[in-house]
Copies of this chain bind each other. A is one copy, B any other.
Amino acid sequence: MSAEIITIGTELLNGIGKDTNGAMIAAKLASIGIEVQYQTTVGDDAARMADVFRAAAHRAQVVIMTGGLGATSDDLTRKVIATVFRRRLVLDEAVLEHIRARFRVRGIEMPAINEAQALVPRGAGIIENPRGLAPGLHFTHLEADYFSIPGVPHEAEAMMDTYILPYLRARRPGIPATRRVIRTVGISESVLAERLRPVEASEERIRVGYLPHIHGVDITLAPVVPDLTWMEDALDRCEARVRELAGDHAYGAEGDTLSAVVGSLLLERRATLATAESFTAGAVGAAITATPGASRYYLGGIVAYSNRAKQELLGVRATTLERHGAVSAETAEEMAHGARTRFDCDVALSSTGIAGPDGGTPEKPVGLVYFGIATSDGVRSARFVLPGNRPEITGRSVAYLLDLARRQLAPAAV
């Protein structure tokens, strides 16, 4: 059972846009045991699109195409399907009404060009689009299944979940190449790889992968060739060994986030949280509240970007700022203490640092950051010099600060 993904759009080939659908679709197909053998990206060009559709038709049993279903003149997928697979386009009244209705809700009359989105290749099924205008299309050709879905990521993802995966699971059962993901924070890829060498040596049927992100490194374990007779046992063994070797750097599995892990720990302890942010300017609060239900523990925060705000809203002392500067352990600690008092909460986190590109000095370079944490046990701080540019320093700081909270709140197991 092999699949091919085709992503369509000139913007994906000229550096303006970025494809995220390919990886999303590949992950979902892998989860039901379907292997993606090729992914091809092609611009909005009828001849090249036809070329790519024909190549896929020769080598795949499942073809998923994204993009080119909009209403504008550069949206050519319907036309090219009609040509390559010799199916006339027919206006679908139900689809047209769905599109009209979506405009009506917004109090806008449907522009005439949107009628094109109701054209359906003869004999193709409709994949409903509750989140947008254009429906997806499904047809078969010489034993292969073809799905054409929008390029808008959340529309594409919804169609994968509600239609394509259930259909394929029923019609084309495969052996899911089960995998394990162990998420880590605060340890570099190469140090981690050195530590995990015994795992790689002990089990050659399992492939160990490393995927570095700004927020940490994910370790993946997957069978080289899926085989139900030994796969789960071997993965269990490897995963246990990886967790042991990674120590307290390992914080979760696939789908877990530091934000959710910290949230769970707070809920367990019935503790409340507040933030005092300087250079991260709200990014920590935004990360915490990315977890649904965060209002059960997160009370709020103060973004004290200016020194005056640090003094007036968080009670940082003028003498602290004068003597140690805004980027210092002392300021970080007074900020955390101030937030804990203002919000009357159990745990308060603070950040102060230099994200660059300007503002660095030999003593306080770009990337120098201090994080503070205040609890009923008192206040403490941590200092790091982080690599990267402005967004990378900010992104990494959010992870490090959440990790500080995780370690503080975790049962003292290590």
Contacts from A to B (Cβ < 8 Å): 10-20, 22-24, 26-31, 35-45, 48, 51-52, 55, 59, 70-74, 108, 111-114, 131, 133, 152, 154, 177, 179, 181, 189-191, 193-194, 197, 200, 207-212, 218, 220, 222, 275, 277, 279-286, 288-290, 292-295, 298-306, 308-309, 312-313, 342-343, 356-358, 387-392, 394
Residue of B nearest to A284 (CB): B282
Task: State whether A281 touches B304 (Cβ < 8 A).
Answer: no
Task: State whether B210 touches A74 (Cβ < 8 A).
Answer: yes
Task: State whether B209 touches A16 (Cβ < 8 A).
Answer: yes
Task: State whether A304 touches B309 (Cβ < 8 A).
Answer: no
Name 14 extra pairs, CB < 8 A, besides A15-B26, A38-B40, A292-B390: A12-B39, A13-B35, A16-B179, A36-B43, A108-B191, A131-B387, A281-B294, A281-B301, A290-B391, A292-B356, A292-B358, A300-B305, A301-B305, A302-B313
Task: State whether B282 touches A303 (Cβ < 8 A).
Answer: yes
22 contacts between A and B (CB under 8 A): A13-B39, A14-B179, A15-B26, A15-B27, A39-B41, A70-B189, A74-B209, A113-B193, A114-B190, A133-B190, A154-B388, A283-B283, A292-B390, A294-B305, A295-B305, A295-B306, A298-B305, A299-B305, A299-B309, A300-B303, A300-B313, A302-B303
Task: State whether A210 touches B72 (Cβ < 8 A).
Answer: yes
Task: State whether A27 touches B48 (Cβ < 8 A).
Answer: no
For the complex formed, measure the closest distance between the CB of A78 and the CB atoms of chain B, giving whole angstroms: 16
Residue of B nearest to A157 (CB): B389
Among B19, B113, B220, which residue has its beta carbon within 8 angstroms of that of A11?
B220
For the complex formed, measure the closest distance between the CB of A19 and the CB atoms of chain B, giving whole angstroms: 8
Task: State whether B281 touches A289 (Cβ < 8 A).
Answer: yes
A282 to B222, CA, bound (A): 38
A37-B42, A289-B279, A298-B305 known; A193+B13 contact, CB < 8 A: no
Query: Inside 8 A of A308's CB, which chain B residues have their CB?
Result: 299
For the complex formed, measure the closest distance between the CB of A71 and the CB atoms of chain B, giving whole angstroms: 5
Task: State whether B292 touches A288 (Cβ < 8 A).
Answer: no
Residue of B nearest to A114 (CB): B190
Among B29, B39, B211, B304, which residue has its beta carbon within 8 angstroms of that of A300?
B304
A15-B28, A282-B281 known; A74+B207 contact, CB < 8 A: yes
A400 to B304, CA, bound (A): 23
A212 to B389, CA, bound (A): 26
A54 to B211, CA, bound (A): 27
Closest 9 CB pairs of A and B: A15-B27, A282-B282, A282-B285, A281-B289, A300-B309, A301-B303, A283-B286, A111-B194, A39-B41
A13 to B64, CA, bound (A): 13
Task: State whether A15 touches B30 (Cβ < 8 A).
Answer: yes
A26 to B29, CA, bound (A): 27
Query: Inside 8 A of A16's CB, which chain B residues have their CB?
Result: 27, 179, 181, 209, 211, 218, 220, 222
For the complex formed, measure the closest distance between the CB of A202 and the CB atoms of chain B, giving whole angstroms: 13
Task: State whether B289 touches A286 (Cβ < 8 A).
Answer: no
A208 to B11, CA, bound (A): 11
